[in-house]
Amino acid sequence: MLASGSKGNAIYINSGKTAILVDAGFSGVEIERRFKARGLSPEQLDAIVVTHEHNDHIHGVGVLARKYHLPVYISARTEAAAGRMGRIETIRHFTCGTGFSIRDIRLHPFSTSHDACDPAGFTFRMDGRKIGLATDLGLATHMVKHHLSDCHCLILEANHDLQMLEEGPYPWPIKQRVKGRTGHLSNEAAKELCMEVCHKDLSRVILAHISETNNRPEKALSVVAERISGGGPQFTVALQHTPSPVIEI
């Protein structure tokens, strides 16, 4: 997890044969710095995958794609809505609901409930392991639960504490957006989703997109992991300003 939060998001996934970057929500220079901080290099990348067009997910996509000659996998509707990536040599469109492969990584995009044009969550299968990504969604639909039901690792949004949001400094319309059906998952909603999809082979849950204003990492951890104990998954938190250690699944 190179970064996660409202200021920028980027996730590095490496199967051992293939390396992809999911979103690039910082400048190219900042993403390169974060790669270097973890002993990694963007030169290892095979592709960039885009979940949706909000700036905290696409800010550095064009720069990195041009500099490292990377194909960008993005839905046609998201590309049309983005408009800020500049010229990209190779665009490969995907459609939510239809899987595709980047070398030995099998990706399956699925629709999420968020105020973007065509937002996608993903599952990634490689070497018998499955990672599920569900951030930037206001509601965990049956489809979301279905795709996350047999993952070995989950990257799951726990954006806000409802009381902190309601009592916090955001204007009322933004509070309504955040907690609405096309906004972001609260800690409680993340806990409910996690409890529904938890199974014996789920080894890691990474809580992501945590609000710096309306949440705290320790609060998110205490709520989401509250009822899951005794041999359950290990919970960690992805932070905004510091890349996480490399996690092996």
In this prediction, residue 83 carries a pLDDT of 85
Q: Please identify which residue in the block is written with the tokens 């980047």.
A: 102
Q: Give pairs for 97-100: CB < 8 Å, separation 24+.
A: 100/73
Q: What is the mean pLDDT of the chain?
A: 96
Is residue 226's pLDDT more than 90?
A: no
Q: Rounded to the nearest 10 degrees, how much is the dihedral formed by the CA atoms of 82, 84, 90, 94? A: -10
Q: What is the pLDDT of residues 35-71, one digit of tens each?
A: 999 999 999 999 999 999 999 999 999 999 999 999 9
Structural domains in the chain plus CATH codes = 11-237 (3.60.15.10)
In this prediction, residue 229 carries a pLDDT of 59
Nearest to 214 by CA among 3, 9, 59, 5: 5
Positive/negative CA dihedral, 147, 148, 153, 158: positive
Residue 162 to residue 138: CA distance in whole angstroms: 13
Q: What pLDDT band is residue 248 in, cutting at 50, 70 and 90?
A: very high
Neighbour count for residue 248 (Cβ, 10 Å):
8
Q: What is the pLDDT of residues 63-97, one digit of tens each?
A: 999 999 999 999 999 999 998 899 999 999 999 99
In this prediction, residue 232 carries a pLDDT of 84
